[in-house]
Structure 1
Amino acid sequence: MTRLAAMDARAATLLLHHIRDAALRGGHAPLAPRADIRASWERMLRTGVDPDRDRRSGLLPAGELEARRHGTTLGELLPVLREGLMASPGASADPARHIMVVADADGRVLWREGHGSVLRMADGHGFEPGADWRESTVGTNGVGTALVVRRPVQVHSAEHFVATHHPWTCAGAPITDPRDGRLMGVVDVSGPVPTMHPAMLLLVRSVAALAEAELRNRHLAGLARLRAVAAPLLCRVGGRALVVDPHGWTAAVTGMAPVDRLALPGSFGGGRMWLPALGECDVEPLPGGWLVRPLDGAGEGAADSVTRLVLDVSRPREWTVRVSGAVGSWQRELTPRHAELLYVLASHRDGRTAAQLAADVFGDRGRTVTVRAEMSRVRRTLGGVLTHRPYRFRDEVEVEVVAPADPRDLLPHSTAPAVEAARHDGPGDDRAG
């Protein structure tokens, strides 16, 4: 956006039209589109989105819209988002020029607010509560594209793939739950093209960070409350035990080495459970969390019991790992970084050193400290399925990768050199072991 920011709105818009027209015709453009925009256009062309047709899906029924609003904590963050936008200096925060839109992880618009005239303009494009604003529905845009790439994105005028959206400029930033890394949704600021401001993307990124900080503070307060409940209880418990919140974060521990977070399977609940890091455990509910007591000898041979691992990276926004063996099976959703790391290791069964992984993921062999920290978290999640020196899957574990049908759709958020190479070359055989 640097060159565009130096132009007036009319000149920038004209240049973007030339770039888009050249890209759609396969001709020579006066300037290459930005990387995220180019990648989004390529996805739209592959999936058959019509660049000249205003395609819309039906709005959610009122009941389902309300159910989605009540089923997310995004609504509780609206005051933080609103205050962050209004408190920021500059034209990009002017409510008379823009609207704020909050969408969930499915790209459904849940809330929007702003000046009446801009809201009426948005109505004319179907940009209203209950609308589906995914890339696959309406093309490149600040909501749907930010959901795919998992980072802040600005889309100005003809950078929108669908021509009817060219009167708009927008910037969206994903909001991620710091408790589990789950993508919650997107906050977007949109307005007419003449309102483009160089600070818009920075503003939206900052406001999303404020919302995540609010969630983090609430999480820490919840852990403190759970710790107060757990303290007298653990004093009476003999042997090893720990208390965790619903996301696996540890509030208190006794008789064992402390861990920051315990990997909990999706089917976690009370009773007898097998956990990848601890083996067989007795689990009891507590107000705001769980009491977990490993059984005598639990954990011994737990990793050896895993015989198969399936890494599913076939979808654009959700990636999972499923492990199975003699003790049963469990599945866990992965963060974007962990999906990248596991994909690289599944592609290199002989293993990768920390320096090699740093080059694979960051393009910088020197970032070994970051790699070791992330791999420590991954190994805790998988309960010993991975070994190190070098990092690799245990030889006894069968590893299967479920990849997208088109290699170019592999982990679209990722800028990791190893993933970009796989998109270009194709993943080859999807069975890694």
Structure 2
Amino acid sequence: MAHLPIGPVRPGGTGPQTSARLLASVREAALAGKVPRTAPRAVIGESWRRALRLGVDPDNGTPNGVLSTDEIEHRRRSTPIAEILPGLRDGLVSVADAAWHIMVVTDAEGRVLWRDGSLAVRRSADRLGFAEGASWAEDTVGTNAIGTALITGTPLQVHSAEHFVRTHHGWTCAAAPLHDPRDGRLLGVVDVSGPVASVHPATLALVSAVARVAEGELRTRHWAAVERLRSVAAPLLARIAGQALVVDGNGWTAAVTGMAPPDRVPLPAQARAGQVWLPSLGLCELDPLPGGWLIRPGARERPPAGNRVVLDLSGAGDSTVTVHGPAGNWAQPLSPRHAELLFVLALHRGGRSAAQLAADLFGDPSRTVTVRAEMSRLRRTLGGVLAHRPYRFADGVEVELLRPLRGHELLPRSLAPAVLAERE
């Protein structure tokens, strides 16, 4: 079945209004449970199905309230996006204003934190509830560039009747996710939105490029902070006999003595001073420093039989893994790929070969190099919790898998065959 050409490229001279009418007919057929003559793009069709399962009103969306001014300000102060906002504005606001568009920046929940650009378009957005503090997540307004990009983790343009909610059909939106390069965490989305008639072919490419530049600025700021920490750490480590290292708050190594320097030491989600078990280093002593931690490894204790691992995939946000052991608990957020790998290993306690994992994740058993690289990173993080030959959770480790209440919400960004099969 052919896919409808949408967005800025319209073969055969298809104009915005004609394209909008075609999309509207496709949407109406899909919402009525019929098979449209022309299929929507796969990412749009999947989003429509999610919105239907969530019970989003296709005419008006689902009310979700607007954040208070105090809460908006709190979220603005709490996000690293505030550091790169000037760069986002420099790259997009003047272009958006000239094209009768607005620039919007949201947090990872899809809440609008900043909005700038054409005054006339902002007034139109107000009438839609597209205002600061509003939720633009899929569970509130269905398919849209912001909410759907938060789900897929990739840049996306949504045009006219590709929007799930009818009142948004006069708009076109292009959005790109923003990630924190320090830990890969999804911070939010930057979006440029405006009337359908003013859509421009280069909008999505521009938004994506500006988002990557902004992430690069965060990366530069991060390494500058690591360098500052290194200047503090070097004289401190010179006075310590034995193994020790200094890391920043995200676990990136600033300085080391008496041991091979790891790029990063995964820290507990709530690091604390004192004796802490780190799967990659064993039992350690943690001491706080300005901007980081001094870590002094002790005996390289491995988790004895009876340790418990909780793989939490139940939430809509980041997945986490928590290791419960005799020296306390250790928890870390997981990247989407590591969440997929641990999920498959939780299903197959007998273990999986690299080829089997490649088929589980990519549908291609030949992609073993990628699998081995990712499993190597995971084993450095989780230490004795994971074994290999075959890859598996170690013997004697109890594994608890927490799934979402609704099966279709399992790892919603994942396209791994093993995950898709479990959603059904």
Shorter chain as denominator, the TM-score bin is over 0.9
Report the CA distance between 1:387 and its aligned residue.
1.1
Q: Distance in 1 between matches of 2:18 and 2:258?
A: 68
1:54 deviation in Å? Answer: 4.3
Check conservation: 1:148, 1:317, Cα contact below 8 A: no
Farther off after superposition, 270-279 or 209-218: 270-279
Q: Distance between the aligned counterparts of 1:401 and 1:197, measured in 2?
A: 46
What's the secondary structure of 2:44's corresponding residue?
Answer: helix
Q: Name which of structure 1's ranges 274-283 and 37-46 shifts more when overlaid on structure 2.
A: 274-283
| 1:192-212 Cα deviation digits (max 9, x unpaired) | 111223332222222211111
Aligned equivalent of 1:80: 87
| Secondary structure of the corresponding residue to residue 242 of structure 1 | strand
Tell me the residue number matched to 2:28: 21
Q: Does 1:206 align with 2:196?
A: no
Q: What amino acid maps onto 2:202 in structure 1?
A: A
State yes or no: 1:412 paired with 2:412. Answer: yes
Counterpart-to-counterpart distance in 2, 1:65 and 1:10: 36
Match of 1:241 among 220, 227, 244: 244
Give % identity: 60
Conservation of the 8 A alpha-carbon contact between 1:306 and 1:323? no
Name structure 1 gaps, 5 residues minimum.
425-433
Give the letter aligned to residue 53 of structure 2: R
Post-superposition shift, 1:184? Answer: 0.7
Pairwise CA RMSD: 1.8
Q: Does 2:152 match 1:145?
A: no
**Residue 94 of structure 1: how far off its partner (Å):** 5.7
- Quote the residue 2:192 is aligned against: 189
Deviation at 1:305, TM superposition (A): 5.5
Gaps in structure 2 of 5+ consecutive residues: none
1:122 and 2:129 equivalent?
A: no
Match of 1:136 in 2: 139
How many residues in Structure 1 have an aligned counterpart in Structure 2? 417
- C-alpha distance in structure 2 between counterparts of 1:38 and 1:411, whole Å: 18
Do the aligned partners of 1:248 and 1:261 also contact (CA within 8 Å) in 2? Answer: yes
Aligned partner of 1:31 in structure 2 is 38
TM-score by length of structure 1 reads: 0.92
**Contact (CA 8 Å) 2:145, 2:158: kept in 1 or not?**
yes
* DSSP-derived class of the 1:383 partner: helix
Shift of 1:248: 0.5
Q: Any idea what SS the aligned residue of 1:172 has?
A: strand
Q: Distance in 1 between the 2:4 and 2:354 partners? A: 35
Task: Identify the range of structure 1 (14-23 vs 75-84) with the bigger mean alpha-carbon deviation.
Answer: 75-84
Rounded Cα–Cα distance in structure 1 between residues aligned with 2:386 and 2:374: 13
- Given that residues 273 and 282 in structure 1 are in contact (C-alpha distance below 8 angstroms), is that contact kept between their aligned partners in structure 2? yes
The answer to whether residue 292 in structure 2 is matched with residue 289 in structure 1 is: yes
Give distance in 1, aligned partners of 2:268 and 2:306. 14
Match of 1:329 in 2: 329
Tell me if the contact between 2:61 and 2:142 (Cα under 8 Å) persists in the aligned partners: no
Query: Are 1:339 and 2:342 an aligned pair?
Result: no
Instruction: Report the AA paired with residue 18 of structure 2.
Output: A
Establish whether residue 318 from structure 1 lines up as the match of residue 321 from structure 2: no
Mapped to 1, the partners of 2:351 and 2:403 lie a distance apart of 20
**CA distances 1:288-331 after superposition (whole Å, capped 9, x unpaired):** 21111112xx213x233662111111222221111113222222
Partner of 1:370: 370
- 2:52 is the counterpart of 1:45: yes
2:352 corresponding residue in structure 1: 352
